Amino acid sequence: MKNEYDVVVAGAGPAGSWAARHAALGGARVLLLEKDREIGLPVRCAEGAPVDQLHALVDVDPGWIAREIRRGIIVAPDGREVEAWSGEKGYILHRKLFDAGLAQRASEAGAEVVTKAYVSGLIHNNGKAEGVRVRQLGEDKEIRARVVIGADGIESRVGRWAGLDTHTPVAEMESCVQMTLGNLDIDPETIKIWVGRSIAPGGYLWLFPKGPGWANVGLGIAGQYAAKKKAIDYLKAFVERMFPGAAVLSIVAGGVPTGPQLRTIVADGLMLTGDAAHHTDPLSGGGITNAMLGGKLAGETASDAIRHGDVSVRFLKRYQNAWDRARKKDLQLAYKIKKIVYDFDEEDLNRIADVVLALPLEKRTNFAIFKAALKKHPALVFQMAKVWVK
Ligand SMILES: Cc1cc2nc3c(=O)[nH]c(=O)nc-3n(C[C@H](O)[C@H](O)[C@H](O)COP(=O)(O)OP(=O)(O)OC[C@H]3O[C@@H](n4cnc5c(N)ncnc54)[C@H](O)[C@@H]3O)c2cc1C
């Protein structure tokens, strides 16, 4: 590690590695710092990613893929299975290999990657970020940088240190827990989602196959419910009921921000990206490809800023504008849908299942579902309409 770089990135998840790679490709001298001793571990993720979005962002190494998924099923509260889509649509990744692979790609582009390097503070000068404090192998260091990129995930502190408003209301934070289960009798090409307040209030439960006989099975519940009954208790009850003979290979817990994205993600000399910027999809909780896209845009803006000799908030706002153009509308819509759908009671969800099951698979588009629901359950449609009407 040197004492000075053009760009320092805190956190080597998908956002940080992709920011580091793209800043280095733009000609910047880049340092990528990761607090854990091994990039990609621990895995706090169900590891699902949309095929088309991933290929648009990276030349995918086949070794990163645990499973190709061809079918998605939603299970209504009354147990009926509704096929939501079929065809080649998703990957279940090996996040450990994937995250390590992305960091490797960052280093191939010229970024220096250092693990066991905990970013413990920002260096400020008149409100402008000018570097970071790092604790590495028991030693404290100060690293100067013209741009700092905070890609330090859901527990992000970089934004707070820079004075940005990173607060998340409890109701907008999903409390997640996941078991990797073995000894399962499942279709390894089908993901399943269970919905309903008794299973996962304010969220959903997922089964993402990693291969024949094993899968990530987890759930997220909205923060306000977690005080009454913990996410792990919902998951244990489900696993005991549905998979009594399963082997529990691992258990992880984590949070996912499911509110609106942060209003401001840039400051003088500083940008936030990935979960640190609350760039997860509020409805699905997915954040891998958003983190990579945000990282790419932040990295490109950082190297442009270095070339122009202007790292002011005014210049770095180009990153926030590029992000907003690419994803803001979609995430706002997902947020609106989440607010409505997570409010449905189990009867409402069963009625929606009636409507969808009555449509042939190839006709199950949002519009067709909406039209069919309008005929059968006008009151339900009134609720659903709130999503489309401002
Ligand atoms: C249970 C669960 C299931 C999920 N399932 C999916 C899914 O199936 N599909 C999907 O797309 N998304 C999923 N997500 C969300 C997804 O994991 C995140 O959106 C994604 O990892 C965000 O990437 P990131 O790089 O922003 O953050 P992270 O992947 O969290 O990376 C941040 C990195 O920063 C490091 N770091 C933190 N603080 C410091 C510091 N001070 N100094 C140095 N390093 C630091 C961390 O160690 C970590 O390596 C899930 C999340 C959870 C909790």
Residue with CA at minimum distance from ligand 1 atom 53: 254
pLDDT at 319: 98
DSSP class per residue in 343-385: T--HHHHHHHHHHHHTS-GGG--HHHHHHHHHHH-HHHHHHHH
CATH fold for the domain made of 4-45+96-169+261-331: FAD/NAD(P)-binding domain (3.50.50)
What is the Å distance from ligand 1's center to 44 Cα? 7
Task: Report the alpha-carbon distance of residue 134 to residue 140 in Å, rounded.
Answer: 6
What's the gap between Cα 5 and its chain centre?
28
pLDDT at 390: 34
Is domain 69-92+171-257 classified as CATH 3.40.630.30?
A: no
Residue with CA at minimum distance from ligand 1 atom 10: 286
Yes or no: say if 48 and 209 are a contact pair by the CB < 8 Å rule.
Answer: no
Domain ranges of the chain: 4-45+96-169+261-331, 69-92+171-257, 340-388
Give the global pTM: 0.94
Tell me the residue type at 71.
R
What is the Å distance from ligand 1's center to 272 Cα? 13
Residue with CA at minimum distance from ligand 1 atom 51: 45
Per-residue pLDDT of the chain (390 residues; tens, 9 = 90+): 999 999 999 999 999 999 999 999 999 999 999 999 999 999 999 999 999 999 999 999 999 999 999 999 999 999 999 888 777 689 999 999 999 999 999 999 999 999 999 999 999 998 899 999 999 988 999 999 999 999 999 989 999 999 999 988 888 999 999 999 999 999 999 999 999 999 999 999 999 999 999 999 999 999 888 888 999 999 999 999 999 999 999 999 999 999 999 999 999 999 999 999 999 999 899 999 999 999 999 999 999 999 999 999 999 999 999 999 999 999 998 898 888 888 788 988 898 888 888 888 777 766 666 666 666 566 655 555 554 443
Pocket of ligand 1 (CB under 6 A): 10-16, 33-36, 44-49, 118-119, 151-155, 176, 178, 218, 254, 256, 274-276, 280, 285-288, 291
pLDDT at 388: 45
Residue with CA at minimum distance from ligand 1 atom 17: 45
Task: Report the alpha-carbon distance of residue 107 to residue 113 in Å, rounded.
Answer: 6
Torsion of CA 119, 152, 273, 291, to 10 degrees: 140
